Copies of this chain bind each other. A is one copy, B any other.
Amino acid sequence: MNLKIIKDSCSMTASPKSPLAPKSFPNLLPIAGLEMGAIAAGLRYQGRLDLMLAVMHRDTVAAGVFTKSRCPSAPVDWCRASLKDTGGKYVRALVVNAGNANAFTGSAGLHAARATAEATAAVVGCEPEQIMLASTGVIGEPLNAAPIVDGIAQINAALSGAKWQDGADAILTTDTFAKSACEMAEIDGEPVAISGIAKGSGMIAPDMATMLAFIFTNANLSPNVLQSLLQEATELTFNCITVDSDTSTSDTVLAFATGQNVRHPQITDPNDPRLDDFRAKFITVNRNLAHQVVRDGEGASKFVSVTIEGAENDLAAKKIALSVANSPLVKTAIAGEDANWGRIIMAIGKAGELAERDLISIWIGETLIAVDGAACPNYDEMPVQGHMRGNEIDIRAYVGIAKGRATVWTCDLTHGYISINGDYRS
């Protein structure tokens, strides 16, 4: 077989670290009942970690949110089916490989996914359906399961605690830094930990980003509670980020609750008030990870928040905000440090949601620059120019209909994006 290699967001050459990256990889909170490790399996990259295994206590509960793509990858199909089969209970392990997305690989793709799950189940001592999978990298190339099967046994033999940074490194492709976040939360007066890792830097858009995220907690939650929390958090975080409006075939967010080292009884009602603090902290971890994905957006030089107020409802506000955040003309203006509110108006207008042209106001940073449908005479240009030169850009608009409100996050569109994705004439 002389299969053509399809290049994708998986280049072999490392880009320089994003200027928007956090200073360093933090010490994540350990999660009782979780061990994690990684090795360099040589799946595509040479000499770097590319295979991660997380093994969890047998009481672990799992939940998942996946790409809405009509062409999902084999691991997405696998996880959806397994979560349905198991009801999200007794999930024992997570295997993630980087370098090959195992997407658009036909029946061979499903076989590779099954082989991975079977090998992991044999090592861990469970059924294949208790294994969660994710793959990221090249689309359309068959995934060779053999090095993964070998690698899983090696990682498992050496497991000792959670090697967070190894795990976070092993799931990266074109990312320029490893992404992680953690919070302590309280349930029923008792502390519980939430720690998560993520990857993603291009093919990022809601529903969801091209993006993997895995969030672990030792809270004792029923599967329906975890699924409910994850869906709510995803809607407010990962589904509010966009780099290039492109949605991957592999987007996966999985949450795991081990229920270990806690005394509180299992929470079985998503509306249980004992979840209040946990819910807030869980959303914080998801939002933190989502922001880091945007901060690693391909070619990004600025982190951009877009807030829309006064829309018909929150959903309409989100749609307008995404129209602004996805507009190539808005994104190139931000790259050019130009406070071009005409393009913001254009993007509000094209969103297809109600907006009262002659009531629209626009702020850049703290400065009101347009009001009641026209430029603000004599607004102070100095703080606006200063804001545009920074690397955290805030855009806010009021659209004059009702009380709908939403914030989304994106990055600017630079020559770097074109170079990463288009400069490989061969």
Contacts and interface: CB of A to CB of B under 8 A. Distances in A.
A419 B109 CA distance: 41
Contact of A375 (B140, B332, B378): B140
Contacts of A7: 338, 340
A234 interface: no
A129 interface: no
Interface in A51-82: 67-72
23 contacts: A3-B375, A7-B340, A67-B349, A70-B348, A71-B348, A107-B358, A139-B346, A140-B341, A140-B345, A140-B375, A141-B375, A202-B329, A205-B350, A245-B326, A245-B328, A246-B343, A247-B346, A249-B345, A249-B346, A328-B417, A328-B421, A332-B418, A415-B418
Contacts of A329: 9, 202-203, 244, 246, 421
A390 interface: no
- Chain A: interface residue count, which band? 35 or more
A135 interface: no
A127 interface: no
Interface string A415-426: 101110111111
Interface stretch (A160-168, A277-285, A365-373): A365-373
A418 B335 contact: yes
Interface stretch (A38-46, A98-106, A212-220, A261-269): A98-106
Instruction: State the oligomeric state as a number of copies.
Output: 2
Contacts of A340: 6-8
Nearest to A108: B374
B69 A336 contact: no
B8 A249 contact: no
A1 interface: yes
Contact of A369 (B4, B246, B338): B4
Contacts of A373: 104, 106
A413 interface: yes
A422 B354 contact: no
Contact of A3 (B108, B339, B360, B377): B377
A342 to B, nearest CB: 3
A351 interface: yes
Interface in A369-400: 369-370, 372-375, 377-379, 381
A308 to B, nearest CB: 13
